[in-house]
Amino acid sequence: MFKKITAINDKWTQESLEMQITDRDNRYFGGVRDPLSGVAWPNHTGTAQYIAAWAAALCNPQSQYYRDPALLQQLHQAADFMLRFQHEDGTISPGWTNYHSPPDTAFVVVGLANIYTLLEQQAWDPARAVQEKIGMFLQRALPAMLTGGVHTPNHRWVLTAALGSLYRIFGQEELKCRAEEWLQEGMDITPDGEWTERSNGIYNTVSDIMLYYAAQDLNRPELLEPVRQNLRMMKYLVHPDGEVVTDYSGRQDFGSVFSLADYYLCYKLMAELDGDAEFAALAELAGRSVIHPGSLPNQIMLGFLLYPQLQSAAVKPGELPGQYRKVINGAFNRRELLDRMRHDGYGGPVRHSKQHTEFGAPVARVRRGSTSVSVMTEASSLFSLRHGKARLLGVQLASSFEPGLITMDSLVETEAGFRLESTGEKGYYGTIPADKLPPLSGLPASPWYLLPHGERPLTHSQVSKFSVEVTEHSGGWELHLTSPSPADVLTQIVLLFGSEGILEGEALTPVPGMTEASFWKSGKLRYSCGGDWMELEHGSHEHHLAEIRGMSYPDGCQKVIVTLITPLDYTLRISLS
């Protein structure tokens, strides 16, 4: 693996050197152009990320760039760029959001601190000036790390790791104290290993590696326990081809393609630390997907150089399960915790972020060789299926009751599969009691927004309940949907298929005004890709409404719409090749 990463890092170094801005009259001189915007940014996915690759290449004896004077000069220019684009308060701005951002600065601090340590270990005189520049950046960042706040749950562990990294280098006790202030909030992870943001493609890897660094630098080995929990959970959240399950993510990796590649460094570190054969097997699986040196906190080449024990591969990989049925968070006390929001007075707004009340929602995963199934609650899709190369990316449910997307509230494991349920309530709101009305004297009007709407009594409340029985049969899967009342609710099932496959069915008709969308009116349809196929029955077309108000229809996939009206009792049967 060391040779593979060396080759990848060298290739990436060569390509990124050509993207560095070399015009001294350019404001962004020394920075590396972002491929999307064409502008150089100082954040951890921008110039700082390239600095890590270049420094690793310069320090790797097997690299073609080992101690290369030309590369060292370009590294100087990139370090100067970072110093110029560090604000007076010690922060950086990514450029497209989060201006003067402590958490984005913390990402950079963790990476640059690792580079600083690596250069220090080299005892290579020509690199000392770069090391000093990086040290200057880190020192300037101290005030922001000691006082700065966050937006998202994982940002707390990024700041904690940054504080630990700076403590390793500068030894100031106030850094350790500030880290303890973040840590006293407690770990936002379920016993089954799921972080708040449910982000298997991106933010799991951030929280995991950051807590590894924090445990090391703050001498807090107990911080590795949530890392172990998440890394163990992930063995159930990988499709047979190595793609990570992102169907229910609460962040920007939702529905996008990610591999285990960014987990590689943490799996490898934990395998060697614990002597764990399962982590070694997952590291091996992740290593097959690596085509990039890794994002800054997970930069693999830096990892190999900073932790030479990784090159030994002393832990023999074990076997990973190819057959399983696993409910994640099935026993988590989520309802009890949500009730506390009301009883204990929580639930206020979370500015520039969200409460993530979907935290701990159950998800079921089933693997049968090349077939991979997800059954999900609190997600935009309730079911997804991969069978070889044939991909049913999601099954969505929408209705005119709320109106819009219906998400499942609960999941119960049954002998044959799983039962999902969703309950929605909608009513009307009466007059505000006179003693609750605000004084309006002196105002030219009575604005709606000044009225205490929470005091209005509920009237004519209606409850809509959907139940979905998901069962496995000898040839595939079956989804049985029921909704008894209220009557005459326009409902639709939206089947999302990969755009790469072929859809066939006599009763498929294009939906006017929607791209890659068809009504499935009756009978069967077949979706096939690369010799694998799934056959579905039965279509339905009880109403003609293609787009339900409040529903979002994703692009980049083939959409098949089944229309139904309550009361409904409908079965979707899926047979597999």
Given a cut of 70, is residue 345 above it in pLDDT? no
Residue 43: closest CA among 281, 297, 252: 297
Kindly report, residue by residue over 2-21, the tens digit of the pLDDT.
999 999 999 999 999 999 99
**CA distance to 119, 420, 466, 470, per residue, from 480 (Å):** 61, 10, 10, 7
Which residues are CB-contacts of 151 (< 8 A; sequence separation ≥ 6)? Answer: 98, 103, 352, 353
Find the distance separating the first CA and the last CA of the chain, reported in whole Å.
Answer: 36
Give the pLDDT of residue 347: 62
Percent of the chain past pLDDT 70, that is, above it, reads 99
CA distance 458 to 493: 30
Structure tokens at 99: 């201006």
Whole-angstrom Cα distance, residue 227 to residue 271? 12
Instruction: Using alpha carbons, list the distances in angstroms from residue 405 to 92, 198, 420, 467, 518.
Output: 38, 20, 15, 15, 19
Q: Tell me what percent of the chain is helix, strand and coil, each rounded to the nearest 5.
A: 35, 25, 40
Q: What is the model's pTM?
A: 0.94
Q: Which pLDDT score is estimated for 443?
A: 84
**3 state DSSP class of 224:** helix
For residue range 512-539, what is the model confidence (pLDDT) as tens digits?
999 999 999 999 999 999 999 999 999 9
Across the range 404-408, mean pLDDT stands at 96
b/e burial code for range 551-561 (CB count within 10 A of at least 16 → b) = bebbeebbbbb
β-pair type (557-565, 517-520):
parallel
What's phi and psi for 535, nearest 5 deg?
A: -115, 130
Tell me phi and psi for residue 58, to 5 degrees: -65, -30
Sheet holding 476-483, edge to edge: 410-413, 417-429, 458-473, 476-483, 568-576, 532-537, 524-529, 502-504
Q: Is the pLDDT of residue 253 over 80?
A: no
Rounded to 5 degrees, what are φ and ψ at 108? Answer: -65, -40
**Which residues neighbour 34 within 8 Å (Cβ) at sequence distance 6 or greater?**
40, 41, 46, 95
Given pLDDT bands bounded at 50, 70 and 90, which one contains residue 182?
very high
Superfamily for the 2-314 domain: Chondroitin AC/alginate lyase (1.50.10.100)
- In the predicted model, is pLDDT for residue 254 greater than 80? no
Rounded mean pLDDT, 415-438 = 95
- 3-state SS assignment for residue 370: coil
Region 419-425 average pLDDT = 97
Q: Indicate the domain borders of the chain.
A: 2-314, 325-347+356-426+458-576
Residue 160 near residue 149, CB atoms below 8 Å: no
Q: What does the pLDDT look like over 81-136, one tens digit per residue? A: 999 999 999 999 988 788 999 999 999 999 999 999 999 999 899 999 999 999 99
Residues 6+ apart with CB under 8 A from 121: 306
Instruction: List, as one string, the DSSP characters of 445-464.
Output: S--GGGS-GGGSPEEEEEEE
2-314 and 325-347+356-426+458-576 in the same fold: no
Output 239-243 pairs: Cβ under 8 A, ≥24 positions apart: 239/372, 239/386, 240/322, 240/367, 240/369, 240/370, 240/371, 240/372, 240/386, 240/388, 241/386, 242/285, 242/288, 242/289
**pLDDT category of residue 440 using cuts at 50, 70 and 90:** confident
Count CB-CB contacts under 10 A for residue 342.
Answer: 9
Structure token pair of residue 395: 């099954």
Cα–Cα distance, 178 to 184 (Å, whole number): 10
By the 8 A CB rule, do 79 and 133 touch?
A: yes
Task: Write down the residue that tokens 């630990």 correspond to.
Answer: 164
* CA torsion through residues 308, 309, 310, 311, sign: positive
For the cut 80, the answer to whether the pLDDT of residue 305 exceeds it is yes
At 197-233, the pLDDT tens digits run: 999 999 999 999 999 999 999 999 999 999 999 999 9
The CATH number corresponding to 325-347+356-426+458-576 among 3.30.2420, 2.70.98, 3.40.50, 3.40.228 equals 2.70.98
Taking residues 352-369, what's their average pLDDT? 91
